[in-house]
Structure 1
Amino acid sequence: MNFISPSKGRLSFNQMFRDLLAFINEHPDDTYKMIVGTDSQERQDVYYVTAVVILREGKGGRFYYAKEKQKGQLSMKQRIFLEAARSLEVASRLAAKFMAVGKTDFNIEIHLDVGQQGRTKEIIREVVGMVTGSGFDARIKPDSYGATKVADKFTK
């Protein structure tokens, strides 16, 4: 999976991770928030965008995104679960890399494209349970900007 950085261009997962670490190491005593969110857009096929956002709280941040295309069409419920699965895959890889470099206290939030309004309200419990059962914090609309703002911008 390749990621795109608006300032650095196309990066492999490992290059993205090294860039994240460099960003953190610039100010190691600051507080950081790591967010992973995925959104999808259905046309003839389904286009997924997974965003990785690092915020230096109160002092800006960086983001990266990966685009994937899946042939065919899916139900809304299937797409939401696949969005969550893609976010979990990236978050799990990031968590393992952070642990490997000794950053064991790094918490990663998964931002989900579900909310109390609209068609997704029926599956909130299941998809949030999928994320929290995997050991990550879950955020839903309106607090899930990693999926609903950052990733969504690049699905168009």
Structure 2
Amino acid sequence: MQFFHPRNGRIELGQMILDIYAYIEEDRTATYKMVIGTDSQTSHRGTMFVTAIIIHRVGKGALFYYSKIKSRPLLDLRYRIYKETEYSLACMDLLKEKDFFSASWDLPVEVHLDVGRKGETRKLIQEVVGWVTAVGYTAKIKPDAYAASAVADRFTK
């Protein structure tokens, strides 16, 4: 996966992790949570998946990065939602491989899913929420899934 900072452009995974550590160290008294979510946009030319990685300093702002993956056009909604969930979980696995969570702070993690109780995705809620919780993360759906429905969505276009 290749990562980007919204102002600074491309960033290596190791540097992103160091930036996140520095951000948390700036205010050790604050409460933090890590939020990861993926959204996609399909056109006749392809499907763009964007995964957002957000370190939320609760009540005091956030730091975020994103990754983009382009594929052939994926028109099947169920398959696309599954791919979005897969990319979010793959990003978590990548951070785990780099021992990101071995730092001395307790960082709760949420995976934001681009599904909600309205529209066609409501049929998929139980499946993808079950998948995310089965691997040990808290799952959030719309309207609480801002990492997918707001941040990642912004970069899919």
Which of 98, 102, 108 matches 1:100? 102
Q: Deviations over 1:71-111 (max 9, x none)?
A: 242410000011001001112333452333344x2211000
Q: Is the 8 A contact 1:95 1:108 kept in 2?
A: no
Residue segments in structure 1 that go unaligned for 5+ positions in a row = none
1:154 corresponds in structure 2 to: 155
Q: Give the Cα separation in 2 of the matches to 1:12 and 1:112.
A: 25
**After alignment, is 112-121 or 69-78 more displaced?**
69-78
SS at match of 2:33: strand
Match of 1:4, as an amino acid?
Answer: F
Match of 2:103, as an amino acid?
Answer: V
Match of 2:26, as an amino acid?
Answer: E
**After alignment, is 56-65 or 75-84 more displaced?**
56-65
Q: Is the 8 A contact 1:38 1:112 kept in 2?
A: yes
> For residues 3-152 of structure 1, what are the structure 2 equivalents within 5 Å?
3-44=3-44, 45-96=46-97, 97-103=99-105, 105-152=106-153
Aligned residues: 155
Q: Give the Cα separation in 2 of the matches to 1:39 and 1:27.
A: 30
SS at match of 2:148: helix
Residue segments in structure 2 that go unaligned for 5+ positions in a row = none
**After alignment, is 9-18 or 79-88 more displaced?**
9-18
Q: Deviations over 1:16-58 (max 9, x none)?
A: 1111111001112210021000000011211100001111111
Match of 2:79, as an amino acid?
Answer: Q
Q: Give the Cα separation in 2 of the matches to 1:123 and 1:3.
A: 28
SS at match of 1:126: helix
Coordinate RMSD, CA, aligned = 1.3
Q: Give the Cα separation in 2 of the matches to 1:53 and 1:146.
A: 7
Q: Give the Cα separation in 2 of the matches to 1:115 and 1:141.
A: 5
Q: Is the 8 A contact 1:3 1:64 kept in 2?
A: yes
Taking every aligned residue pair, what percent have the same amino acid on both sides? Answer: 46
SS at match of 2:24: helix
Q: Is the 8 A contact 2:43 2:73 kept in 1?
A: no
Moved over 4 A (4+): none
Q: TM-score, normalised by structure 2?
A: 0.93
Q: TM-score, normalised by structure 1?
A: 0.93
Q: Give the Cα separation in 1 of the matches to 2:93 and 2:142.
A: 22
**After alignment, is 119-128 or 22-31 more displaced?**
22-31
